[in-house]
Structure 1
Amino acid sequence: MPPLTPDKQPWHTHLAADIPASLVVFLVALPLCLGIALASGAPLLAGLFAGFVGGLVVGTLSGSPLSVSGPAAGLTVVVAAGIAELGAYSAFILAVVLAGVMQLGFGLLRAGAVAHFVPVAVVHGMLAAIGCILVLKQVPHALGYDVDFEGDESFVGQGGGNTFTDIVAAVQNADLGAFIIFVAALGALLLWQKVGKKMVGSWMPPALVAVIVGALTNELFRLYAPDLHLTDATHLVTIPDLSGLSGILFALPFPDFSRIGDPAVWRVAATIAVIASVESLLSVGACDKLDPFHRITPTDRELKAQGAGNIVSGLLGGLPITAVIVRSSANIDAGARTRVSAILHGVLLLLSVLVLAPILNHIPLSALAAVLIVMGLRLASVRVFHAQYQRGKGQFVPFLITLGAILFTDLLVGVAIGVGVGIFYVIRSNFRSAIVVAHEDHEYLIRFAKDVSFLNKPALLRAFSAIPNGSAVLIDGTRAQFIDPDIVDAIDDFLLSAKARNITVELRRSATSLNTHFKQEAAA
């Protein structure tokens, strides 16, 4: 009997792996939740609320063992535009609730099958693109140039720049203290991967060691090198300070249900529902590719879980939620085994709002940059490019185009372009392999290797025209289940011309349309 996968075992079996992984995901998710809220023009707490709902609600209901949900950078433009269009944040979070209801409907209608139409090469291209974006976007943070919000994934940056101009500006305006903290955190992470894990096991993940070393380095600067000490809140994790549970409950507005009949609210809700659903399905599909146990996420269940999460997040005043590949990658990279890790990360985000703010506000963003850069390099390693290259042009070209399109646009646009290129290569492959032509001297074989459509007609006509006069031709259609009427007409025309060219033709066919046609011709 094969061994059980982790999700089939009791939930507490893998706590030794899931608890440390949840700490890493929490540290990665915390600044991302705040940064995405800031970029969206929403209250900072809205990002944290969405984060812990993504962990607690979606993590509990989802069938994905390793994906992590929360506010997504891909929705920042939608959120900002939605708040502006509706004129009030209370109306916007009503749209989030309605979007969640729509996602529940998508799940009940089994719309999750859409995810299976994305080619594997596109999924790998998406993962590599996210890796490249992580590296490029974290370089400025590593140098202390914290102009763009944490978690920004768009090519166009704040103030009209872009990913590459931001790197140039970061080099020109580097903060020495932040860079030293980055180097210390990076060194600690790499060293712990080599040595530390062997001594203490997985209970102290390298990413957590990097963050601790980064924070301690900044404290040493405070004591012994004040000029290098990072004090500006823009360089540090910044959690709003609230007065207990009562302060949290009333920190954000409640949905304005009086506007439930407003068509603009429903329009924004539909936009959120579609984009969040597509991004979630893409993320869990990519996550399944990274899963060391090769588990498959039930996509319809995922849509229902995301819908429930958005309903709860909207009711609490939080941002819309999706499955997020960056957090999911961090979860897998940290050694998580089950969804307990995602749930615990949600618990930690809730605790960060309640009691942990004074401690977490000492973490430098440059230390977190070390964690994210290492994770990005793994997603976009040379080995990944080599593996795709080995699969041939039909896989490598869609992979590269998806990567480039995401890097220079955004996730959804890039994936759409990649899917288009992938479909082109599928059609091209089928087009080339549908008709096989072989010959020896003046004996020709034309075999329909699979279903033949009108797209194959030019190739068939070229094959007919290349046959010399006086040849013998065998047209074999026994392997085709379908032959397009255009192909039948082309064969019919060839038969008529073959007599004048002294070409003998033998037909072997099984497709109904071809069979019927030539029976009628024989009877006439």
Structure 2
Amino acid sequence: MTIETQKVVARLIAPRQDVPASFVVFLVAIPLSLGIAVASGAPVAAGLIAAVVGGIVVGLLGGSPLQVSGPAAGLTVIVASMIQTYGWQATCAITLCAGALQIALGACRVARTALAVSPAVVHGMLAGIGVVLVLAQIHIVLGGTPQHSALENLSELPGQLVAHHSAAVLIGLLTIGVLLAWERLPFRAVPAPLVAVAFATAVSWLFAFDMPRVDMPGGLFDGWVFPAPPDAPLADVLGAIVSVALVAGVESLLCSVAVDRMRPAGVARSDLDRELMGQGAGNLVSGFLGGLPIAGVVVRSTANVRAGALTRASTVLHGTWVLVLALSCGGVIEMIPLSALAALLVALGLRMIDRSHLRGLRPHRETWIYWLTLAGVVVLGLGEGVLLGMGLAACLALRRLTRVSVKTEQRDGRWHVVVSGSLTFLGVPKLVQELQDIPAGVPVDLDLDVDFMDNAAFDTIHTWRLSHERLGGKVDIDEVHESWYENAVTGEASPSRKSGAGVRWWAPWSRRDRDKDPALDVASPREVLLAGVREYHGRTARLVRPIMVELAQAQTPDHLFITCVDSRVVPNLITASGPGDLFIVRNVGNIVPRHGTRVHDDSVMAAVEYATSVLDVKTITVCGHSQCGAMAGVLAGGGEVEHLPHLSNWLRHANHSLSRFLEGADLDSDLADGPTPLAGLCHVNVMQQLDNLLSYPWLKHKVDAGELELVGMYLDLETAKVEILDAESRKFLSVPDRVPPVADDDAGATSRV
């Protein structure tokens, strides 16, 4: 089967896998869409229309293939308020305009700025909406009517508990009970919300309970009216449009990020700007057709991923199934008791108050923003509560940005002062207090580890330095990052990095500046290692922590990198890669034992097998290097390592490389003439290890099918340059400055062996 045929088959198979996933999402979406419509005070058909549009329109146009959009519980409070204030036709017009605003924002490529909103504010907002939703819907479960505000609902709740004991209470409690019980059963092929609502509906029908039910007169679009502009001040209308656009947009983008963390291998990451425009198109269409506002929904998206969806076909099909149901089963929908839908939303609202988010906020001391945002949404309203939370988060960020640390200590007759943080006029009083405590005439080392210094701070330090030196002292100023002080003294317009300061992390321990810690010159290797760990904790850990939190869930590298244990070869340095990029195998001589070799060793192929079969890496790279001690031992016939039995045994795997080198068939003429035979063997060894990989039939099959690419690399230690093996010429060439673009249909079709 050709590679092109395989790709066509893959495109045909993917939708087959998406069909059952679409049914699962469809079953989840139906009760939630109906419940959200009822809770918003909108026509029941509006929830179904939004589900159809969210599935088909956003599914086709959005930038997140596996995200499912539709009516969202997070928008219930906003929509209910708009319907009460402006009426349903005007609410549709506001939804339409909010969609147009989202399209404009996506076209301006500002989607990622929405992710700058503090998670404490976002989670606090969703929790506050959950509280408001629960307080409103529990009145319906009890057989009563919700009030206009959360506080009124709270104050009326005791009376509802005492006064109402109708069949609606039984159906509501039954719905919640089935929902909780079904989720704890080992078999959950049918989603719990559908089971709970269907069971409650069946009970109410069998016992002929007289209670309010879903009212869906006519067909899906029978009650459609053209959206009408609100009869209200322009400022109020614009505020409503912006509220819908931003809340729905932020919720959708955060959902896209969450889905990206769950996506299976081979599914592309979300394009957030495209997703925002797709959400805008969905809201524009939904508003025009008389549907609720649309947003990406975590519950349905999670169900979609867990059900095995691989493409956007699942999302589109789920919208199609909702459309078919709405057009053909209106009578069945009208049998559903309102108390069952209300109970479903009570459970959903309680889940929105997810206290697990507090675990991530607590180490950063941001839980108080969460609670105050929640309280603001409940007491003041959604918009006011979110603005309160954003204001508090901004004040906290400003405080942190302007916080400065000044530490002083006396050591070896010198005073050491370390200033870190952002040094502005707000930190001047603290800085002056510490500097004034230093005795006159003593030598001072002043380390400025600051990311910003304003004029007031510079003037304070410079004035103190001049004064201290006039009294016989000496001040040595060392700037760790950018030369704010030096540039201010010399009058340069903008700060420039000190030579070597910005790349200090890659320098060997022996080349580090030991002036700050002379004890390291005589320290044991263990102490030097621990000093490096301390530096990592102080400088780097906080920077990589967000990345590591995401990677802690799973690793998804695309590259397997096989190289030598030589300490001079640093794979992440020569490939400019970071955590999670390379799955690395290191051994003496970057050797891959051949299939069926008499000197048995499974360690290398165990890693290759895991990387290709479990991690689904797309590239295997074998990287050799100059001055390789292993190849020097092989070239000397093994005599130099006879006293090392384990190493001697391992180097037998390189005999094929030595034979190939001595034959000279694949040796570049430039290497054959010089500089040394060792360099030639090091190059040939890379070629041989790539051939050794192909000696495994299952691996060769992957390469021939275009599923895997083999790459040969060579690091010249003297020049610090990396060369790559060219497949056609069998020569190692310099890496080009830019890789020419490759068409998608041809990508991965050849192997650089």
Shorter-chain TM band: 0.7 to 0.9
Work out whether 1:26 is the aligned partner of 2:30.
Answer: yes
| 1:298 match | 271
Work out whether 1:219 is the aligned partner of 2:205.
Answer: yes
| 1:4 match | none
Distance 2:93 2:138 in 1: 37
CA contact (8 A) 1:34 1:48 kept: no
| Change in 2 beyond 3 A, CA 1:274/1:376 | closer
Amino acid corresponding to residue 486 of structure 1 in structure 2: A
| Change in 2 beyond 3 A, CA 1:145/1:333 | farther
| Structure 1 residues without counterparts, runs of 5 or longer | 1-6, 149-153, 223-228, 243-247
Distance 2:153 2:203 in 1: 28
CA contact (8 A) 2:99 2:284 kept: yes
Tell me the SS of whatever aligns to 1:449: strand
Amino acid corresponding to residue 182 of structure 1 in structure 2: G
CA contact (8 A) 1:125 1:398 kept: yes
Write the mapping of 1:224-373 to structure 2, written as runs, cut at 5 A.
229-231=209-211, 233=212, 236-242=213-219, 251-254=223-226, 270-288=238-256, 290-291=258-259, 293-294=261-262, 297-316=270-289, 318-319=290-291, 321-323=293-295, 327-329=297-299, 332=302, 335=306, 338=309, 342-344=315-317, 346-351=319-324, 353-373=326-346
Distance 1:183 1:358 in 2: 24
**1:232-277, Cα deviation, whole Å (9 max, x unpaired):** x3xx2221234xxxxx556323357xx9xx9989877754542232
Write the mapping of 1:403-442 to structure 2, written as runs, cut at 5 A.
403-432=374-403, 434-440=404-410
Tell me the SS of whatever aligns to 2:173: helix
Distance 1:511 1:429 in 2: 20
Give the structure with the higher percent strand. Answer: 2
Amino acid corresponding to residue 462 of structure 1 in structure 2: Q
C-alpha root-mean-square deviation of aligned residues, in Å? 3.7
**Cα distance, 1:210 vs structure 2:** 0.8
Distance 1:182 1:483 in 2: 61
Tell me the SS of whatever aligns to 2:146: coil
Distance 2:260 2:281 in 1: 28
CA contact (8 A) 1:144 1:175 kept: yes
| 1:167 match | 157
| 2:121 match | 122
Amino acid corresponding to residue 110 of structure 2 in structure 1: A
Amino acid corresponding to residue 239 of structure 1 in structure 2: M
Aligned residues: 467
CA contact (8 A) 2:34 2:48 kept: yes
Amino acid corresponding to residue 398 of structure 2 in structure 1: I
Write the mapping of 1:25-104 to structure 2, written as runs, cut at 5 A.
25-38=29-42, 45-46=45-46, 48-64=48-64, 65-70=66-71, 72-73=75-76, 74-78=78-82, 81-82=85-86, 89=89, 97-104=96-103
Of residues 450, 454, 458, the one that matches 1:484 is 454
**Cα distance, 1:115 vs structure 2:** 0.8
**Cα distance, 1:93 vs structure 2:** 5.3
**Cα distance, 1:211 vs structure 2:** 0.8
**Cα distance, 1:471 vs structure 2:** 4.7
**Cα distance, 1:364 vs structure 2:** 1.8
% identical equivalent positions = 27
Of residues 365, 375, 390, the one that matches 2:348 is 375
**Cα distance, 1:67 vs structure 2:** 4.2
**1:419-453, Cα deviation, whole Å (9 max, x unpaired):** 22223223333333x43413137844333434533
| 2:533 match | none
| Change in 2 beyond 3 A, CA 1:420/1:12 | farther
CA contact (8 A) 1:210 1:370 kept: no
| 2:723 match | none
CA contact (8 A) 1:63 1:301 kept: yes
| Change in 2 beyond 3 A, CA 1:146/1:297 | farther
| 2:486 match | 515
Tell me the SS of whatever aligns to 1:162: helix
| Change in 2 beyond 3 A, CA 1:353/1:271 | farther
Q: Which has the higher contact order (CA 8 A, sep 6+)?
A: 1
| Change in 2 beyond 3 A, CA 1:445/1:424 | farther
**Of 288-297 and 172-181, the range deviating more from structure 2:** 288-297
Provide TM-score, normalisation by structure 1. Answer: 0.76
CA contact (8 A) 1:22 1:331 kept: no
Give the structure with the higher percent helix. Answer: 1
Work out whether 1:463 is the aligned partner of 2:434.
Answer: yes
Distance 1:263 1:362 in 2: 36
Amino acid corresponding to residue 286 of structure 2 in structure 1: S
